Amino acid sequence: MIIAFEGIGGSGKTEQINKLAHFLNSKRKTFIILKGGGTGGNTKDLQELKSKIDKSGDPENLLLGETIKHQLVELNKAKASKIDFIILDRTPFTYYASAESKDLKLKEIFSKEMMEDLKKFPSADLVLFLNITPKNAHKLMEHKEVLSRGDLRATIERDEYKNKAYKKYAKNYDWIIIDVDKNKSIRDKNSIHEEIIAKVNI
């Protein structure tokens, strides 16, 4: 089963993925966690990919393309090994939302090879969209950069566009929406975890 987590930065994806992993382990289920949709991976392979940046004339696209390819290769390996659960920290929809937030078409920012790799991604059996307002997401980020007031406004504005895109995908593709905040208050992390477990229905 492929379970994917989507949401803007600071929505709590990584923490909820870790909680799900502990739960699956307690149930003696096999699983693998694959990061994608960004440059924040901590695995050795992704760190090695980052070292290529200085050798490329277009470092952002090189890194992004390699990350997409890396996730796709590892995902196919996991499927072949018949692991019970494949957990994706972001999916190709992350790229689509990023492009929409900049009012761009994917072909304007991705190479032909990268577009082909995106098309090869198998659909997730379950997509959990962690829905949170950008202002609250920024508050929750543990290692956030110190942003100037102007940069913070720009970041929040960009994430608001991303959230609109995610909500559109959620409606069109039957994603499950998990509200991280309600009535401007941030929910308890354990209650979010319990809701996720109920949705996964293990």
CATH code where residue 195 lies? 3.40.50.300
Report if residue 165 sits inside a domain: yes
Count of the separate structural domains present in the chain? 1
Report if residue 62 sits inside a domain: no
Report if residue 47 sits inside a domain: no
Report if residue 67 sits inside a domain: no
Residue 198, exposed/middle/buried by CB under 10 A (0-12, 13-18, 19+)? exposed
Domain that holds residue 161: 2-36+72-200
Beginning with the edge strand found earlier in the chain, give each strand of the sheet holding 126-131 in spatial order.
Answer: 31-35, 85-89, 2-6, 126-131, 176-179
Cα–Cα distances in angstroms (integers) from residue 177 to residues 166, 168, 186, 187, in the given order: 10, 11, 15, 14
Determine the pLDDT at residue 60: 47
pLDDT in tens, 109-150: 667 777 787 778 778 899 999 999 988 888 777 545 545 555
pTM equals 0.79
Tokens of 125: 């059996």
pLDDT in tens, 3-54: 999 999 889 998 999 999 999 999 999 998 887 654 333 444 444 444 443 4
Give the number of other CB atoms < 10 A from CB of residue 25. Answer: 11
How much is the mean pLDDT over the chain?
Answer: 78
Using only C-alpha atoms, what is the Rg of the chain? 17
Report if residue 28 sits inside a domain: yes
Contacts for 45 with CB less than 8 Å, ≥ 6 apart: 70
Report if residue 42 sits inside a domain: no
Determine the pLDDT at residue 39: 38
